[in-house]
Structure 1
């Protein structure tokens, strides 16, 4: 049975991604900053007959928490087949380039960028033991420099200085990570779940968590012919998903 760790999986898109991978026969480690919330999420899944899930206390901003999660999962399995770096924060709105505080930038980057680096580096050894390891960094088409520079893009006026900058940095990390792992079986991609109605955006989105979970799960399960080092947004590009940086 393949095993996957999903950060921020106790609710919303992370939870739905966990549900869909469980339905595909994966064992899912539910990373949650609050262990209590993670345990509640596992019980919800078990109520649906999805029993192969286990909660893991995991705060991506806390090095000790990440290390403890690695030790916990490492005691359970020698191999991790996929890592989905889903945990993220938006930093609050509005985010004017002139008014956003340095503290806002630090807080968002701590979770959305440094958190991904912490978790990826902590679990890379377990991933390297898998036959076809996969890493999915949950990104956003809203961080595309190309799209945000195009006045004809439908979200052109949806500007924010902090959150998109963090995801643009995450995209660059994804490119470098894929490059470092280029001569291995790894597939590493940045995947946008779409503009989804969740607590994250006060339910202003137009997509569903089911659609988002499907998009993310898909790239955790791609075979050896799948892409790597790509920025994927099926909402932006329904045909191939590939999106300009």
Structure 2
């Protein structure tokens, strides 16, 4: 079984379609129930619904996956939001966390950690984080951009955070049979996210981004590759932003992430 988040639109829908056509079982996640029903009717895939902008729902999503599945081959953290139509307007998630950081990074971070036991029990298994070539170092004095905000910076920080967490997961999961890798699928594909920030602009096709992502999901040549970042369909991994290699920065990110998740879930129970 392959779990794909953000499966009802754009890249997620493309890879869900291609995986299903190839005979793979897919559990498709989405936020919108109507779009999920349409996807189910079209492809026959199983579906699961949650708004990844609320960590309580991410937690419920993990619970549901663990209840429904006894085997998970691949987790694809694909769901995300772009820099926003108005990049000067700072938005927050339902938990009061900067929205790009919450949806693009923190949701996948928490979901992966909740599903690690199932992935390990299912090994060999993979975690694939759909990140971006657009990366910017996190300022830990203002990680959620409360003092100075820019939508593109928020987006780029969230994507670098994904890569940093990928490296940590790969280290933690060494010798378990579970790999973790990240990629930039393609540049400015014709997706809702891209159209919001760059109306009418497109540089790459969904097929290009989908091919790159499917390679990390399926290619047996990458069965033992872990903790790496790939740029589109370039065969070999490349180096991300230098902060990804900074162990102290990754430690600060882990501590911040765990604190935000714990606070949000405690508040949700009150």
Query: TM-score, normalising length from structure 1?
Result: 0.80
Partner of residue 39, structure 1: 37
| Structure 1 stretch displaced more, 200-209 or 4-13 | 200-209
CA distance 1:207–1:64, change in 2 (3 Å) = same
Structure 2 residue 218 is matched with structure 1 residue 221 = yes
Cα distance in 2 between the residues matched to 1:128 and 1:227:
16
Residues 132-173 of structure 1 deviation map (CA, whole Å, 9 limit, x = unaligned): 11000000112177xxxxxxxxxxxxx931111110111111
Deviation at 1:31, TM superposition (A): 0.3
Distance 2:55 2:153 in 1: 27
8 Å Cα contact 1:60/1:119 also seen in 2? no
1:6–1:84 contact (8 Å) kept in structure 2: yes
1:9 aligns with 2:1: no
In structure 2, distance between residues paired with 1:9 and 1:103: 23
Shift of 1:189: 0.5
Native 8 Å contact 1:20 1:214 kept in 2: no
Aligned-pair distance for 1:103? 4.7
Using the alignment, how far apart are the partners of 2:50 and 2:4 within structure 1?
10
How many Å separate the matches in 1 of 2:117 and 2:90?
37
Secondary structure class of the residue paired with 2:105? helix
Cross-structure match for 1:172: 164
Q: Structure 1 regions of 5+ residues with no counterpart? A: 46-50, 146-158
Among 176, 201, 206, the residue aligned to 2:203:
206
The aligned counterpart of 2:106 is 114
Check whether the contact 1:70–1:122 (CA below 8 A) recurs between aligned residues: yes
Could you say if the C-alpha distance between residues 209 and 125 of structure 1 is closer, same or farther in structure 2, counting changes exceeding 3 Å?
A: same
1:240 aligned onto 2:232: no
Q: Within 5 A, what are the aligned runs for 1:60-209?
A: 60-93=52-85, 95=87, 101=90, 103=92, 106-143=98-135, 160-195=152-187, 196-202=189-195, 203-209=200-206
- Aligned 8 A contact 1:7 1:58 in 2: no
Distance 1:57 1:31 in 2: 6
Query: Is this contact kept in 2: 1:109–1:166, CA < 8 A?
Result: yes
Cα distance in 2 for residues equivalent to 1:234 and 1:72: 32
Number of residues of Structure 1 aligned to a counterpart in Structure 2:
219
Q: How many Å separate the matches in 2 of 1:122 and 1:114?
A: 12
Shift of 1:222: 3.3
RMSD: 2.3
Q: 1:131 to 1:212 in 2, by over 3 A?
A: same
